[in-house]
């Protein structure tokens, strides 16, 4: 991915994208709670922490840099998102962003939560 794209994504507000994540999920009959659940699973934020970060307009770079506990099972997330194979994205930051995109996409596509959260 081009550096300019990465730089732009780093500066983007998570809240600005979260609205679109929720809208996508709701169009497919899923809920904001499910979107938030996968984000919390990925990052280790509590719901209160997530709400505070969204309200503060936190950018993606800070959001991932300060995440309490990135889930070690996130490397099990595979497949295409936005035309890229998630497991082949070399830039660690963009891989984290695409992991989150992929999780939300799976919610919107009706996948069962235990499968999305990579539970045995």
Res. 3 pLDDT band, cuts 50 70 90: low
Where does the pLDDT of residue 4 fall: very low under 50, low under 70, confident under 90, or very high at 90 and above? Answer: confident
Q: Where are the domains of the chain?
A: 13-116
The CA distances from residue 98 to 48, 55, 94, in Å, are 23, 22, 6
Range 13-116 classified under CATH 1.10.8.290: yes
Residue 24: burial class (beta carbons within 10 Å; 0-12, 13-18, 19+)? middle
| CA distances to 2, 3, 35, 97, 116 from 38, in Å | 27, 27, 5, 13, 8
Q: What DSSP character marks residue 72?
A: G
For a pLDDT cut of 90, what percent of the chain falls above it?
Answer: 89
**Per DSSP, what are the bridge partners of residue 84?**
81
Q: Distance between CA atoms of 31 and 33, rounded to whole angstroms?
A: 5
Q: Tens digit of pLDDT for each residue in 20-72?
A: 999 999 999 999 999 999 999 999 999 999 999 999 999 999 999 999 999 99
* Nearest one of 61, 57, 47 to 8, comparing CA atoms: 61
Give pTM, 2 decimals.
0.93
Distance of alpha carbon 77 from alpha carbon 56, whole angstroms: 28
């Amino acid at each position: 991915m081009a550096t300019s794209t990465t730089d732009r994504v780093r500066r983007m507000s998570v809240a600005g994208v979260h609205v679109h994540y929720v809208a996508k999920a709701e169009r497919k009959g899923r809920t904001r709670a499910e979107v938030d659940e996968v984000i919390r699973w990925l990052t280790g934020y509590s719901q209160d922490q997530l709400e505070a970060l969204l309200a503060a307009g936190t950018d993606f770079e800070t959001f991932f840099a300060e995440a309490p506990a990135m889930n070690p099972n996130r490397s099990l997330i595979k497949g295409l998102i936005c035309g890229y194979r998630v497991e082949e994205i070399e830039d660690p930051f963009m891989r984290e962003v695409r992991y989150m995109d992929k999780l939300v996409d799976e919610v919107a596509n009706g996948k069962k939560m235990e499968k999305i959260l990579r539970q045995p």
